[in-house]
Structure 1
Amino acid sequence: MTKLMIDIVDETNELTEEQLNEIENLLNFAAEKQKIEDESEVSVTFVSNERIHEINKEYREKDSPTDVISFAMEELGEGEAEISANGMPRVLGDIIISVAKANEQAVDYGHSFIRELGFLAVHGFLHLLGYDHMHESEEEEMFTLQKEILDEYGLTR
């Protein structure tokens, strides 16, 4: 099984060890399904609504809290050159999840909190791999893949 190097930080101190382990297992499962190289690195940070609001405003110029934000390390900006180092681990990027939004959305959608956390983690992870949902065809591909990963893993609605 693919083994990611996952750095998980819960800035809210609201999540249990079991919940954090579940997210780690789910991301490793998603990495296996996507055939990601062993030892690839990803960080997951669980934050408050206030913190994700600040990040959303600063980096996305959106003045509101959101549920998940991803910062892909492999995404090239305009004029940036690709950097590759043989023998170095692949650094996928950062996933930031609002615990309060996850709670709120779990209630709204009528499923468990861990299902919503898992959905947001997989959603963010797929963004790190280059998936997007700006256009209808991309959205269908990404959302179908998310559902397949979550269902196969066992985090169903």
Structure 2
Amino acid sequence: MTIEVNNESGLEIDERAVLDIARYALARMRIHPLSELSVIAVDIPAMEQLHLQWMDLPGPTDVMSFPMDELRPPSRDDEEPPPGLLGDIVLCPQVARTQGAEAPTAHSMDTELQLLTVHGVLHLLGYDHEEPDERTEMFGLQKAIVDGWRTEQGLEGPSPAPTMT
């Protein structure tokens, strides 16, 4: 799995954790090991620009996903997934820091970035949360992945609840 993490945000982030949780999420979703992913952390002005350009919404957001080859997890255990370019996940650490601090169970910016990385991976794989049943499926899967990674890393407690709407 080729995963590139670039931090252009101006804040120090735990790039290793972002890389590790992205790799864990893709393995858990059974994405081909030769697939490629890019994760970019940007500052608020850059995220505001992307949010307006691609979603026609003002202000910054926490995470955006830009799929390339529209890869999907295999539907059967015996199905071999194809390799490909997953796409880009763009994170905004400044927004993540605020969201983490304001969450019902307050947590660090890096913990929020880990959650947002998994959220971005799931969007790249075609998951969405517009409808209630989609939201239940996506956020349940997100929690299972983050909890599994946290357990594997020896981190205490369950993953924080999603802070995005």
Superposed pair shares fold, TM > 0.5: yes
Report deviation, 1:89.
4.3
Partner of 2:88: 94
Partner of 1:147: 143
Q: Which secondary structure state, in structure 1, belongs to the residue aligned with residue 5 of structure 2?
A: strand
State the distance in 2 between where 1:10 and 1:39 align: 23
Report deviation, 1:15.
2.2
State the distance in 2 between where 1:13 and 1:89 align: 33
Q: Does 1:32 align with 2:32?
A: no
Partner of 1:46: 41
- Could you tell me which amino acid in structure 1 is paired with residue 24 of structure 2? F
Q: What are the ranges of 5 or more consecutive residues in structure 2 without an aligned counterpart?
A: 71-81, 161-165
State the distance in 2 between where 1:6 and 1:97 align: 15
Partner of 2:130: 134
CA contact (8 A) 2:66 2:87 kept: yes
Cα RMSD, aligned residues only:
1.4
- Could you tell me which amino acid in structure 1 is paired with residue 60 of structure 2? P
- Could you tell me which amino acid in structure 2 is paired with residue 113 of structure 1? M
- Could you tell me which amino acid in structure 2 is paired with residue 104 of structure 1? T
- Could you tell me which amino acid in structure 2 is paired with residue 62 of structure 1? L
Partner of 1:78: none
Q: Which secondary structure state, in structure 2, belongs to the residue aligned with residue 36 of structure 1?
A: coil
User: Deviations 1:13-37 (Å, cap 9, x if unpaired)?
Assistant: 4224xx1011111111111110000
- Could you tell me which amino acid in structure 2 is paired with residue 128 of structure 1? L
Q: Which residue among 6, 11, 21 is the counterpart of 1:9?
A: 6
- Could you tell me which amino acid in structure 1 is paired with residue 34 of structure 2? E
Aligned residues: 140
CA contact (8 A) 2:93 2:109 kept: no
Q: Which secondary structure state, in structure 1, belongs to the residue aligned with residue 137 of structure 2?
A: helix
Q: Does 1:107 align with 2:101?
A: yes
CA contact (8 A) 2:64 2:91 kept: yes
CA contact (8 A) 2:9 2:92 kept: no
State the distance in 2 between where 1:97 and 1:28 align: 16
Report deviation, 1:74.
2.8
Q: Which secondary structure state, in structure 1, belongs to the residue aligned with residue 146 of structure 2?
A: helix
- Could you tell me which amino acid in structure 1 is paired with residue 89 of structure 2? I
State the distance in 1 between where 2:86 and 2:96 align: 23
User: Deviations 1:109-130 (Å, cap 9, x if unpaired)?
Assistant: 1012221000110000100000
State the distance in 2 between where 1:153 and 1:112 align: 17
Percent pairwise identity:
36
